[in-house]
Amino acid sequence: MTLGPIELRSPEWLIAAPALWALAWWIARSGRTDLGPATRRVSLTLRFLVIGTITLALAEPVWRRTSDDVAVSVIVDSSRSVPPDARLGAEVAISGAAAAARAEHRLGVVTAAREALVQALPSARVRTIRVGDPGDPDATDLAAGVRLALASAPEDAALRLVLISDGNETTGSVLAAARAAAAAGVPVDVHVIDYDHENEVVLEDLIVPATARRGETVAVRFLLWASAPTLGRLTLTLNGEPIDLDPESDGLSATVELEDGSNVVSIPVRVGAVGPQRFEAHFEPISPADDTILQNNSQSAVTFVADRGRALIYVGAGAEPAAEPILRALDSAEIAAEVRPSSVGHTSLVELGAYDAVLLIDAPAYDFSLKQQEELRSFVHDLGGGLVMIGGPNSFGAGGWIGSPVAEALPIRLDPPQQRVMPRGALALVMHSTEMPDGNAAGREVARAAANALSRLDLVGVLEYNWQAGGAAWSYPLTPVGDGSAVNRAIDNLTYGDMPDFDTALRLALRDLAAAQAAVKHVIVISDGDPSGPAQPLIAQFVDQNITITTVAVYPHGNSINSPDMLKMRAIAQMTGGQFYAVPFEYSIKQLPQIFIKEAQTVRRSLIWEGDPVTPTVAGFAADPMRGISAVPPISGYVVTADREGLSLITLRGPQDDPILAQWQFGLGRAIAFTSDAAPRWAPDWPAWDQASQFWAQHVRWAMRPTGSSTLTVRTERDGDDMRIVVEALTPAGERLNFARFAGRVVTPTLESVAVDLAQTGPGRYEGAFRADQAGSYLVNLRYDAPMTDGSGVERGSAQVAVTRAFSEEFRALRTNQPLLREIAEITGGRVLSDSGALDAATLFARDGLRKPIRPTPIWLPVALAALSLFLIDVAVRRVRVDLATLRALARRAVDKTDEDRAGKTDSLREARQRAKDQLKEKGAGAVTMGGMGARTSPPAQSPTASVKFEADDAAAPVGDLRIEKPAEKPGADEKSEEGMSRLLRAKRRARDGMERDDAE
DSSP 84-131: HHHHHHHHHHHHHHHHT--TTEEEEEEEESSSEEEEEEEETT--S---
Beta-bridge partner residues of 403: none
CA gap 794, 498 in Å, rounded: 68
pLDDT higher than threshold 80 for residue 733: no
- What lies within 8 Å, CB to CB, of 112 at 6+ separation is 75, 76, 77, 78, 79, 140, 141, 142, 144, 145, 165
pLDDT higher than threshold 80 for residue 831: yes
pLDDT of residue 481: 84
More confident residue, 997 or 718: 718
User: Cα 670 to chain center, whole Å?
Assistant: 33
- What lies within 8 Å, CB to CB, of 30 at 6+ separation is none
CA gap 426, 71 in Å, rounded: 67
Q: Convert the pLDDT of each residue in 604-636 to its tens digit.
A: 556 888 888 999 999 866 677 887 888 999 999
pLDDT higher than threshold 80 for residue 843: yes
Q: How confident is the model at residue 851 (pLDDT cuts 50, 70, 90)?
A: confident
pLDDT higher than threshold 60 for residue 304: yes
What is the pLDDT of the chain when averaged over all its residues?
A: 81
- Do 73 and 152 meet the contact criterion of CB atoms below 8 Å apart? yes
CA gap 244, 235 in Å, rounded: 8
- What lies within 8 Å, CB to CB, of 83 at 6+ separation is 193, 195
Q: Which letter does DSSP use for residue 829 in this model?
A: T
CA gap 197, 912 in Å, rounded: 120
Q: Which letter does DSSP use for residue 730 in this model?
A: B
CA gap 730, 713 in Å, rounded: 9
Q: Convert the pLDDT of each residue in 657-699 to its tens digit.
A: 899 999 998 987 899 999 999 878 899 899 889 999 889 988 9
The overall pTM is greater than 0.85: no
- Do 777 and 302 meet the contact criterion of CB atoms below 8 Å apart? yes
Q: How confident is the model at residue 4 (pLDDT cuts 50, 70, 90)?
A: low
DSSP of 747-814, one letter per residue?
Answer: E-TT--EEEE--EEEETTEEEEEEE--SSEEEEEEEEEEEE-TTSS-EEEEEEEEEEEE-S-GGGG--
Q: How confident is the model at residue 938 (pLDDT cuts 50, 70, 90)?
A: very low
pLDDT higher than threshold 80 for residue 453: no
CA gap 319, 321 in Å, rounded: 6
- What lies within 8 Å, CB to CB, of 600 at 6+ separation is 400, 427, 449, 450, 451, 453, 454, 524
User: Cα 659 to chain center, whole Å?
Assistant: 40
Residue 658's closest CA among 624, 635, 684, 689?
635
Range of weakest confidence among 68-72, 544-548, 922-926: 922-926
CA gap 486, 206 in Å, rounded: 53
Q: Convert the pLDDT of each residue in 249-293 to its tens digit.
A: 778 888 899 998 889 998 888 887 777 888 999 999 998 888 888
- Do 224 and 262 meet the contact criterion of CB atoms below 8 Å apart? yes
pLDDT of residue 794: 75
DSSP of 388-418, one letter per residue?
Answer: EEE-STTSGGGGT-TTSHHHHHSSEESSPPT
Q: How confident is the model at residue 952 (pLDDT cuts 50, 70, 90)?
A: very low
**Strands, E assignment, 470-604:** 471-480, 520-527, 547-554, 580-583
CA gap 374, 346 in Å, rounded: 12
- Do 714 and 744 meet the contact criterion of CB atoms below 8 Å apart? no
Map residue 57 onto helix, strand or coil.
Answer: helix
**Strands 211-213, 298-306: parallel, antiparallel or unpaired by DSSP?**
parallel
Secondary element (H or E) of residue 543: helix 536-544
Range of weakest confidence among 72-76, 569-573, 595-599: 595-599
pLDDT higher than threshold 50 for residue 444: yes
Map residue 149 onto helix, strand or coil.
Answer: helix
- Do 414 and 407 meet the contact criterion of CB atoms below 8 Å apart? yes
Range of weakest confidence among 730-739, 786-795, 796-805, 987-996: 987-996
Q: How confident is the model at residue 924 (pLDDT cuts 50, 70, 90)?
A: low
pLDDT of residue 273: 79
More confident residue, 305 or 600: 305
pLDDT of residue 946: 39
Residue 31's closest CA among 869, 878, 882, 880?
878
- CA atoms 82, 83, 88, 93: torsion sign: negative
Q: Convert the pLDDT of each residue in 380-434 to its tens digit.
A: 988 888 999 999 988 998 888 888 899 999 999 988 776 565 667 788 988 886 6
- Do 682 and 638 meet the contact criterion of CB atoms below 8 Å apart? yes
pLDDT higher than threshold 60 for residue 922: yes
pLDDT higher than threshold 60 for residue 967: no
pLDDT higher than threshold 70 for residue 732: no
pLDDT higher than threshold 50 for residue 82: yes
Range of weakest confidence among 467-471, 768-772, 920-924: 920-924
* HSE (side-chain half, CA atoms, 13 Å) at 859: 16
CA gap 596, 600 in Å, rounded: 6
- What lies within 8 Å, CB to CB, of 84 at 6+ separation is none
pLDDT higher than threshold 70 for residue 736: yes
Q: Convert the pLDDT of each residue in 873-911 to its tens digit.
A: 878 777 776 666 776 777 777 766 655 555 565 666 677
- Do 397 and 607 meet the contact criterion of CB atoms below 8 Å apart? yes
Q: How confident is the model at residue 596 (pLDDT cuts 50, 70, 90)?
A: low
> Which strands make up the sheet holding 854-858, listed edge to edge?
2-3, 6-8, 61-66, 854-858
pLDDT of residue 948: 41
How many Cβ atoms are within 10 Å of 476's Cβ, its own excluded? 22
Rounded mean pLDDT of 360-382? 90
pLDDT of residue 196: 83
The CA-atom distances, in angstroms, between 856 and each of 158, 185, 710 are: 14, 18, 69
CA gap 735, 468 in Å, rounded: 80
Map residue 577 onto helix, strand or coil.
Answer: coil
User: Cα 811 to chain center, whole Å?
Assistant: 31
pLDDT of residue 496: 74
User: Cα 236 to chain center, whole Å?
Assistant: 43
Dmax of the chain from CA atoms?
A: 172
